[in-house]
A = this chain, B = another copy of it.
Amino acid sequence: MASHPRALAEHIDRVTLIDQHAHGCWLAPGDRHRFENALNEANTEPIVGSGFDTQLGFAVRAHCAPVLGLAKHVDPQSYWERRSRIDEVELARTFLPAAGVDHWLVDTGIGADTAAPSDMAELSGGRAHEIVRLEQVAEQAARAPGDYATAFEDILRRRAATAVGTKSILAYRGGFDGDLTEPSAAQVAEAADRWRDRGGTRLTDRVLLAFGLHQALRLGKPLQLHVGLGDRDCDLHTTNPLLLLDFLRRSGETPIVLLHCYPYEREAGYLAQAFNNVYLDGGLSVNQLGARSPAFLARLLELAPFHKILYSSDGFGPAELHFLGAALWRTGIHRVLREFVLDDDWSERDAMRVVDLIAHDNAAGLYGV
């Protein structure tokens, strides 16, 4: 057995992260109900029982309480009382810098009341970059005058000029099971007419969803796909990324990044090995799993080549989540890699290099940040 890998622990504590997929944190005040519901990912109704009664809730009390000057594992009531006395902007100024993230890639597709990329940069003291959500571009194109396809291409090109990537939530709009081949111009025009006639909101038309994906492939910037765990609006079993095989086989060289992935992280790792242009992260699964996230992070280190694995928090709403993702990742990757080193399966030097790859090198190369 190798000696205790002290340098690895220190390296993980200090390494700066690129959070390659997050949303804005809250800026406006809210009540306890809003906060506890934000700890539940899957439910779409007001939760019954406490949102603290989950791995995520326990992790907030373990990792975030000390940031607010409270004891680890402080009771939920005390946590809420302290939190509620601090405004959201101040919470953001506390939690975002504590994450040790120097680049935030921000999906701007939801959350009118949340921080814009420029806010995230200012509040965190780091830099922020936009990820353009394709379904939002589609809704903008639906409202634009003239030909839908032209409008989509124009809006995407304009918005992408200052963005580092695109994202699709196809998982929530019918899932991955079904045809994703590139539609013809006539099919797009016809589908757009139908959708505009229905009001052009909440895109679920598969022709237009596929059209958006192929526009993103053509753009060439990394395309992020929501995979697996999300709220119950999606049929979780239709977000198994293996259902994307045909799409991936024809996706060319544009990087495709599978986000979150739970409980399909093994399948996602397989795809990252099978396709030169496929990457993955653990995203929101890490926060959701709390004390169980080390086991999840270990599963991300199965089939995926180490230059294909990325870090993200998927933080959205409470600024705690942007910090907690990083805190749990550091804790979890340390536990996993320490075991590999103690068992002499990996050298400590290799472990530190893989930390750098996941923490920033892979994302820096992929997004050019």
Contact = CB atoms under 8 A, between A and B. Distances in A.
Nearest to A295: B298
Contact of A236 (B48, B72, B242, B276): B242
Contacts of A59: 345
Interface string A272-298: 011110000000000011111001001
A274 B237 contact: no
A55 B301 CA distance: 8
Given A40-B273, A270-B42, A274-B232, A345 B58 contact: yes
Interface in A333-347: 335, 340, 343-347
A11 interface: no
A173 B69 CA distance: 56
A53 interface: yes
User: How many copies of the polypeptide does the oligomer hold?
Assistant: 3
B232 A43 contact: no
A266 interface: yes
Interface stretch (A16-24, A149-157, A160-168, A302-310): A302-310
Contacts of A245: 232, 235-237
A231 interface: yes
Interface string A230-251: 0110011100101101000100
A41 interface: yes
B267 A346 contact: no
Contacts of A305: 40, 47, 49, 53-54
A263 interface: yes
Contact of A292 (B43, B72, B301): B301
A273 B54 contact: yes
A266 B263 contact: yes
A289 B340 CA distance: 12
A214 interface: no
Bin the interface of chain A by size.
Answer: 35 or more
A243 to B, nearest CB: 7
A344 B62 contact: yes
A306 B345 contact: no
Interface string A73-117: 100000000000000000000000000000000000000000000
A288 B343 CA distance: 18
A31 interface: no
B263 A267 contact: yes
A303 to B, nearest CB: 6
A55 B270 CA distance: 13
A262 interface: yes
B73 A43 contact: no
A366 B364 CA distance: 51
Among A41, A42, A262, A305, max chain B CB count under 10 A is at A305
Interface of A: 40-45, 47-50, 53-55, 58-59, 62, 72-73, 229, 231-232, 235-237, 240, 242-243, 245, 249, 262-263, 266-267, 270-271, 273-276, 288-292, 295, 298-299, 301-303, 305-308, 331, 335, 340, 343-347, 349-350
14 contacts: A40-B305, A42-B271, A42-B274, A48-B276, A54-B305, A55-B301, A58-B346, A231-B274, A232-B245, A232-B274, A262-B266, A263-B267, A291-B301, A291-B346
Given A237-B245, A292-B299, 5 more contacts: A42-B271, A48-B276, A73-B346, A73-B347, A237-B243
